[in-house]
Amino acid sequence: MSLKVYEIFKSLQGESSFQGLPCVFIRLAGCHLNCSWCDTAVVRTAPGIPMEISDIINRISVMGARVVEVTGGEPLLQDDSFALLSALNDYGFTVLLETSGACPLDKVDPRTHIVMDVKPPSSGEASSLCEENFARLDHLDEVKFPCASREDFDNAMIHLRRHEHRRWRPLFTPVTAHLEPSTLASWVLTEGPPDGRFQLQLHKVIGLP
């Protein structure tokens, strides 16, 4: 089984409840979305380097981190990404999947910690969301609501009211080029859900990839 890999690197986990932990990132090439403020746009059309799953695991197993994230682009566009997630779990890693929410999650290994984005109106890709994915999420999983405007925050709250009996945890992240972090933080404090987590992209704050 082979995947097109854009890069593999070790850094600190910058988002989610795993924020701050050493993490190996497996960034797969390709994405079918074109978000207006995408921060990995070069990955969208990159051809990637073909790698067998066994070669990926051999490479990351010596990098000294127990947390591994499979990300993109949109990693689930590649059919063998599901086998990769299972293999990483079998090897004993704590496995995170960062996904746009535009691809079905039904084949994702249930041991995987899913971090699903909900693309807001400002991204231009809000209609890409696969609503059925919410039913797949459980207590291991998190949904990230990037916000570049008040409209984006209000859209996030609509989703949260629709899923008031959720088991997954909501995350709020400012698109800092468009929205002051303190503004979003105040909305989360005064109007957000009790379990909502405000976060900055830690890796960018401290200048890591």
Which phi and psi angles does 26 have, rounded to 5°?
-110, 105
CATH code of 34's domain: 3.20.20.70
Q: According to DSSP H, which parts of the chain are helical?
A: 41-44, 53-60, 81-91, 150-162, 181-191, 202-205
What pLDDT score does 4 carry?
Answer: 98
The DSSP letter of residue 206 is T
One digit per residue, the tens of pLDDT, for the chain of length 209 reads: 899 999 999 999 999 999 999 999 999 999 999 999 998 999 999 999 999 999 999 999 999 999 999 999 999 999 999 999 999 999 999 999 999 999 999 999 999 999 999 999 999 999 999 999 999 999 999 999 999 999 999 999 999 999 999 999 999 999 999 999 999 999 999 999 999 999 999 999 999 88
What pLDDT score does 1 carry?
Answer: 85
Find the domain containing 77 and state its range.
2-205
Provide the number of structural domains found in the chain: 1
What pLDDT score does 184 carry?
Answer: 98
What pLDDT score does 29 carry?
Answer: 98
